[in-house]
């Protein structure tokens, strides 16, 4: 599991609760913290900014993970 955790690292967070099911499904959780969120408007702004950033980089992040998993021999090409 530690190898999977290293492979799944994200710039903003480290993966938590990394699990592989008996059928080979990989699941994990990423937690994020907003240190500058002092009121509901700050939280909302952080959420929308963060969501936009994730949406913009989602496919490239998935591809990065896929390539690493192939290189490490965890999945086929």
Residue-level pLDDT at 72: 84
The tokens for 32 are 């994020």
pLDDT for residue 10:
63
Residue 60 lies inside a defined structural domain of this protein = yes
Yes or no: say if 34 and 43 are a contact pair by the CB < 8 Å rule: yes
pLDDT over 80 (residue 71): yes
Residue 77 lies in a domain: no
Q: How many domains does the chain have?
A: 1
DSSP 3-state of 62? helix
Q: What is the pLDDT of residue 35?
A: 84
Answer yes or no: is 76 within a domain. Answer: no
Instruction: Say what the pLDDT of residue 13 is.
Output: 63
Domain boundaries, position 20: 2-71
Q: How far apart are CA 52 and CA 57, in angstroms?
A: 9
Each residue's pLDDT tens digit, 10-63: 666 666 777 878 887 878 777 777 888 898 899 899 888 878 877 777 788 788
């Amino acid at each position: 599991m530690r190898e999977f955790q290293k492979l799944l690292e994200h710039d903003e967070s480290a993966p938590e609760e990394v699990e592989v099911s008996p059928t080979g499904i990989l699941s994990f959780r990423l937690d994020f913290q907003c240190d500058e969120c002092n009121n509901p408007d700050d939280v909302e702004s952080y959420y929308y900014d963060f969501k936009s950033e994730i949406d913009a980089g989602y496919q490239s992040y998935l591809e990065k993970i896929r390539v690493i998993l192939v290189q490490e021999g965890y999945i086929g090409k």
